Amino acid sequence: MRAAPRLHWSIMKQHKIAIMGFGTVGGGTYDILTQNRDYIKRTQGMDVVVARILDRSDAPLVARGIDKSLFCGDVDALAADPEIELAVETMGGVEPAKTFITKMLRAGKSVVTANKELLAKHMHELAPIAEQNGCGLYFEASCVGGVPIIRALNESVQGDKIVSLYGIINGTTNYILSKMTDEGCDYATALAEAQALGFAEADPTSDVEGFDAAYKLSILGSMAFRTCVPYGSILREGITKVTAGDIANARELGYTVKLVAVGKRDGNNIEARVHPAFVPNDHPLAAVSGAFNAVYLRGDFVGDLMFYGAGAGAHPTGSAIVSDIVKALSGAAGYGGFAGDSLEKGISLVGDFVSGYYICVTVADKTGVLSKISNILGDNGVSIKAAVQRSSASGTATVVFLTHRAHEHSVMQALGSIAKLASVERIDSMLRVL
C-alpha cells in the first residue's frame, strides 16, 4: 500500500532517476520533473531528481543548458550505479532500447518506457525479466501519449469484460485525414504540410502505413482482452490510398474518414485491425480532429467510455511518463505483462469479420452494368444499403455503394469478380464502415 504523502521536505527521500535517450520526449519529461519538482514533492511526498542522462553525446544537454556532469555515455556504468533507482527509456525503436532496458531490469531498476514498438514485439520477454528481478515495467506513455488509457484498462475496468475498443490512436494520420476533410486537398498535399509543420516524420511510413497504430492496438488489445493480441496478427492497412474523392463521398453520405484501430472480443473470438474507415458523423470518434487521439471502450457492465487527448508530443507523453515514475517510486506494481507472444490456446483471431463497406467503382456508362455489379454483390451475400451514380462526359460513370454489414471474405470475393467484368474500368476504393 502506498504511504500517505509526507509533508516535511527536509526528511523527504530523494529518488534519483536516469533518462535514457534525451530527444523530444526525454526532454519533455525532464521539463516536467524540474519545473514541477516542488509540486510533486508537496502533493506526492517524493523528491524526484534526474541524476543521469544517457545519450550518444552531451550535445542535447548542452542545447538545453543542463549541467554536463549529468551526462552518461555508458549504459553499463548506469546499470551499476547504486544511486539510480529507476530508468526512463525514451530512445524509441527496438535496439539498443531492448538491450538497455534489459540491463536496467537485471540491475534491479524499474523502467518506465514510451516504446510501443518494443513492447508490441518483445513485452513477453521483458515482463518476465522485470518480475525475476523484483522490479516493474511501466508503459502508460507507450499508447495515446498523455491519455491515461493503460492505467484505465489496468486499474479502472478490471471487473468488466471489454467487449470492444475503437480508437483513433495515431495523430499524424488523423492530422492528414482531417486536413483532407477540411480543405478538400489530396493525400500528398496534406502529408507535405504535416511534414512541414512537424506532425509527420520525413519518413512517414510507420504512421501512414498503420504500423504505429498496430503496435498500440497490440498493447491496448492485450490489456483490454487480458490475453496477448500479437502485433503480427493484426490486419493493417494505411491511409496512402485514401483519395480526395473518398473523403468527398464520405461527406456526402454522412461519414468522416479516419484511420481506426478496432479491437473486439466475443467469447474466444478476437478481432484486431487497423485501417481507414468511414466513421458515421454522429459517432463521437468522428469529431476527433487534427492530431488528437481518442479511445472508445465498451465494457460489459460499465458501458461506453471515451478517452480523448493529445496522443503525442514532448509534454503530453512526458506527463504520462512522470505519472509512471511517481507510480513506480510509490512502490506500486508495474502493469501486467502479456502472457506469451501468441494467442492463448482456444482463442482465435477472426479474419472474416463483419462490417459495412464503402465501394467506389469506375464503369462504362452502359445499360446493365449496375445490375451486373448488384448481382455479384447479391450472389456473395452482400446487401446494398445505398448506391449513387455519377456519369462523366467521357462515357464512364463512378458508382458508389454502401453495403449493409457483410462478411469481409464475401466482400473481397465479390470485388474480385466485379474487377473481372469487361464493363468495369477499375475498382477505385474499398473502405470499411465503422
Point out which residues bind ligand HSE (CB under 6 A): 116, 170-172, 207, 212, 311-312
Task: Match 533507482 to its residue by C-alpha cell.
Answer: 85
| Enzyme catalytic residues | 216
**DSSP-derived secondary structure letter, 81:** -
Task: Give the separation between CA 99 and CA 327, rounded to whole angstroms.
Answer: 24
Tell me how far, at minimum, the Cβ of 182 lies from ligand HSE, in Å.
18
Buried b (16+ CB within 10 A) or exposed e, 246-259: bbebbeebebbbbb
Q: Considering the complex, state which of residue 5 and residue 92 has its C-beta at the smaller distance from ligand HSE.
A: 92
Centre a 10 Å sphere on the Cβ of residue 366 and count the other Cβ atoms it contains: 11
Nearer to ligand HSE, 290 or 303 (CB): 290
**Helix, strand or coil for residue 166?**
strand
Check residue 317 and report its DSSP letter: H
Please say whether the beta carbons of 127 and 118 come within 8 A.
Answer: no
Closest distance to ligand HSE from the beta carbon of 116 (Å): 6
Going by C-alpha positions, the residue among 97, 100, 111 that lies closest to residue 139 is: 111
Contact between 433 and 360 (Cβ < 8 Å): no
What is the C-alpha to C-alpha distance for residues 360 and 39, in angstroms, rounded to an integer?
56
- Give the integer Cα–Cα distance in Å for 284 and 245: 23
Cβ proximity to ligand HSE: between 153 and 213 the closer is: 213
Helix residue spans in 226-368 (DSSP H): 244-253, 314-329
- To ligand HSE, the closest distance from the beta carbon of 311 in angstroms equals 5
Q: Write down the least CB distance from residue 173 to ligand HSE, Å.
A: 7
The nearest distance, CB 296 to ligand HSE, in angstroms, is: 17
Nearer to ligand HSE, 199 or 357 (CB): 199
Handedness of CA 50, 55, 58, 60 (dihedral sign): negative
Q: Which is nearer to ligand HSE, 187 or 358 (CB)?
A: 187
What secondary structure letter does DSSP report for 260? E
DSSP-assigned beta bridge partners for residue 403? 384
- The smaller minimum CB distance to ligand HSE, of residues 140 and 207, is found at 207
Nearer to ligand HSE, 55 or 212 (CB): 212
CA distance 360 to 356: 14
| Least gap, CB of 197 to ligand HSE (angstroms) | 12
- Minimal distance, residue 213 CB to ligand HSE, in Å: 8
Q: Contact, 195 vs 189, CB < 8 A?
A: no
HSE-up of residue 409 (Cα within 13 Å, Cβ side): 4
CA atoms of 156 and 150, how far apart (whole Å): 10
- Which residues lie closer than 8 Å to 107 by C-beta, 6 or more apart? 79, 80, 133
